[in-house]
Amino acid sequence: MAPKEPIVGAPALRYEGEAKVLGRAKYIDDLHFPRMIHGATVRSKFPRGRITAIRYGESIPWNEFTIVTWKDIPGENTIVHLLKDHPCLVQEIVNHPEEPIVLLAHPDKALLRKAVDAVTIEYEPLPAVFTIEESEAPDAPVIWNSEAGDSPNVFKTYLMEKGHVDDVWAIADYIIEGEYSTGAQEQLYIENNGVIAEYTEEGVTVWGSMQCPYYLHHALQLAFALPEEKCRVIQVETGGAFGGKEDYPSVIGCHAALLAMKSGRPVKMVYDRLEDMAATTKRHPSRTRHRTAVSKDGRLLGGEIEFAIDGGAYVTLSPVVLSRGTIHAAGPYNWPHLRIRAKAVATNCPPHGAFRGFGAPQSIFGLERHMDLIAKTVGITPEELRRRNFLQPGGTTATGQLIKDPIDLNGMLTRALEESGYHAKRAEFAKTNPTSPIKRGIGFAAFMHGAGFTGSGERRLNSLVAIEVDDEGRPEILVSSTEFGQGTNTILCQVASQALQIPYKNVRIAQPDTNRVPNSGPTVASRTAMIVGKLVEDASHNLLTCMRESGLLGETYTPEQFCHAALAYKQQLGELRATARYQAPGDIFWDDDKYRGDAYPAYAWAVYVAEVAVDTRTYMAEVKNFWALQEVGKVLNPVLAKGQVEGGVAQGIGYAIYEKCVWKDGVMANNQMTNYIMPTSADLPPIHVLFEEVPSIHGPFGAKGIGELPMDGPAPAILNAIEEATGVRFNHCPLLPEDIFDKLANPTLTSADSSQLQPAVAGPVFSGTTP
């Protein structure tokens, strides 16, 4: 007997919500083990140099401390991500400020802090670079060399081509150029990075605040030269992540485990906010250059896009971020001819890493700002330009992927503009702005976001999930997907509940522990709901098949009958467990060498509208209202989905007009919450969240990914609105009051973020420079 109302699509209560509200949930800093001591890191203060000496101050009783350097690492001195270029501890050459050199542990945290300050590192300085432009300069010092033979200081390149771009310039009515840049952004999760490690004869165990337990599991195997069965990683309650706890727990986890190994005692390492902000990964800064051939009626004929990101000192996840940014640089538009060249470069800043959207917010920002420039140059509205170029079912993306799913971007644009009162407000603002010191504007951005890993990524992951019935007859989901506030536990239990046709409250989900849960892949890339959720649905069906084939469960049943049959199965036949492993759809093909084909099984699509006000007396821009319309397949839980969008929009607003990382010789100079300015609830506008549902065959009950999508659209929509309000182009974010002052006070100033690319042929070339 099926539940009276479907649980998928219902606002089920958050699975772990009661424990969090009542304080029963335990985070790393709530845990204390017998004999536990505390760990800390001595870091470099130079961006690049050779260590000549390490000196320990005389005022500290060093015999009481556990001290670890690279010489104490029993395995490889590496933190493995995609390559092994990232040292666990510096051996000789420092490549960025805040790079770990020495680890210390002691029972007294106050004395530990003094000890860190008492260690002096002496260096022979080496030349360093800090920006994309410095890194790619012909005379730049070589700070990173590729074994693959790429250019010096280049981590990774991609070339993506469609059609014959070189033929379009001669037939273009307009050739329009622009350069766009984005800054770094701090994830600023509520809970800082923290772990506890223990080392015994049985092996090494790490408890941590993290997204991807199997990442750390792999890192431990290499650093300690241990087989996988002697490494164990347990995710504890995690207070936010946003990508910042994807790769970095491999660093702090290995560090704590090294101290635990040498001390023989459990070691807790928890960064304070200053260290967390200064030393850990951030969103990659980027630069996007567009050169677009357009017809006089506003049709995209072809284009060239150059996309570059600043990877920092080591590769970490830069190739993955670059890949996502490359594919999304073309947006939801039909490009008959397109060439995208992309690269990730090395600088002497701390490595940049994953942050919600990872690459797509950077390249989409450039594209959607450029689309408004094209519209203005051609002499049509931003709306009409999009309508003439939107992808349609049966069309192909920039990678050559056939659009098979029903999409209606024109209909979505119509709805978003109607819901926001776009046309009426444009007309109203045009009348009131000339006489008001408060300039108001409204702008929008259209975009899409692929769910799951790019191309053959999911095939390589080969993800596995399991469902196991416990001793009370309740199914328990076993996955390595982690809950860090986004709703993983809830939606996966909803999927299993509906597939098994039992109440939501009867389904359990295990805390990720690599000794118990299979590797279902990392909790990233909007893959949990669609990819892992589909596997949970399949495993649930496999469990039912197993029970029915045993003759213990009929085709229809009550929850009580399900429980009785499950317990009978366990008593008569032993363990009741079903699995499901990812199998790539037969009609999804990707060519890694040519970088073409089906980039993702499915895309989510969106149109976001921002209403802004710019005070010409204070030069402050403020978002007054925001509308977010997205098509994400079946909405599994409307409350959680709405929260995902609201949170993403809030971060996008911060990215657009508040959150600036101030760098000084590779050091984050404003690594405090008092001077790294992010929007508070008082700074956020009403956010109107709207959904359209077109179920996808690739997700559970039709669901697609949602978590990354809302980060992509706010920044370009906001800057499009600011241009509409002020009549001045701004091609970088974050856009701060001083930036607006510089332009409004001197409107003839040539923007430093507008490109002057040379045309391939003589013709009408227009740049993004403010007229």
What DSSP line would sit under 575-588, residue for residue? --EEEEE----TT-
Give the gyration radius of the chain's Cα atoms: 27
**Is residue 146 assigned to a domain?**
no
Over residues 436-465, the pLDDT tens digits come to: 999 999 999 999 999 999 888 899 999 999
Tell me: do 111 and 232 sit in the same domain.
yes
Tell me: do 448 and 476 sit in the same domain.
no
Tell me: do 466 and 434 sit in the same domain.
no
Check: CB of residue 718 under 8 Å from CB of residue 730: no
CATH number of domain containing 388 = 3.30.365.10
**Is residue 341 assigned to a domain?**
yes
Tell me: do 329 and 470 sit in the same domain.
no
**Is residue 649 assigned to a domain?**
yes
Question: Torsions phi, psi of 111, nearest 5?
Answer: -70, -35
CATH number of domain containing 99 = 3.90.1170.50
For residue 423, how far is the Cα from the chain centroid?
33
Tell me: do 215 and 329 sit in the same domain.
no
Tell me: do 311 and 358 sit in the same domain.
yes
**Is residue 362 assigned to a domain?**
yes
Tell me: do 564 and 611 sit in the same domain.
no
Token readout for 334 is: 């039909």
Give the model's pLDDT for residue 768: 54
Tell me: do 510 and 609 sit in the same domain.
no
Give the model's pLDDT for residue 666: 97
DSSP state, residue 14: P
What DSSP line would sit under 369-414, residue for residue? HHHHHHHHHHTS-HHHHHHHHB--TT-B-TT--B--S---HHHHHH
Tell me: do 247 and 299 sit in the same domain.
no
Give the residue-averaged pLDDT of 175-193.
Answer: 98
**Is residue 183 assigned to a domain?**
no
**Is residue 568 assigned to a domain?**
yes
Query: What is the pTM (predicted TM-score) of this model?
Result: 0.96
**Is residue 151 assigned to a domain?**
no
Over residues 356-402, the pLDDT tens digits come to: 999 999 999 999 999 999 999 999 999 999 999 999 999 999 999 99
Q: Which domain holds residue 199?
A: 36-126+193-270
Q: Tally the domains of the chain.
A: 3
Rounded to whole angstroms, how far apart are CA atoms 156 and 700? 34
Angle between helices 559-573 and 533-549 (to 10 degrees): 70
**Is residue 727 assigned to a domain?**
yes
Dihedral over Cα of 597, 599, 602, 605: its sign: negative
Rounded to whole angstroms, how far apart are CA atoms 40 and 252? 10
Boundary of a domain, candidates 557, 581, 605? 581
Over residues 207-222, the pLDDT tens digits come to: 999 999 999 999 999 9
Give the residue-averaged pLDDT of 705-716.
Answer: 97
Q: What is the mean pLDDT of the chain?
A: 95
Give the residue-averaged pLDDT of 6-16.
Answer: 97
Tell me: do 500 and 617 sit in the same domain.
no
Boundary of a domain, candidates 555, 581, 607? 581
Tell me: do 535 and 636 sit in the same domain.
no
Check: CB of residue 768 under 8 Å from CB of residue 370: yes
Give the model's pLDDT for residue 4: 66
Give the residue-averaged pLDDT of 745-767.
Answer: 50
Reduced to 3 states (helix: H, G, I; strand: E, B; else coil), residue 498 is helix
Check: CB of residue 743 under 8 Å from CB of residue 728: yes
* HEC-encoded secondary structure of 609-657: EEEEEEECCCCEEEEEEEEEEEECECCCCHHHHHHHHHHHHHHHHHHHH
Tell me: do 433 and 463 sit in the same domain.
no
Check: CB of residue 316 under 8 Å from CB of residue 86: yes
E strands within 188-239? 194-200, 203-208, 231-235
Over residues 542-558, the pLDDT tens digits come to: 999 999 999 999 999 99
Token readout for 277 is: 């902000």
Boundary of a domain, candidates 208, 239, 270? 270
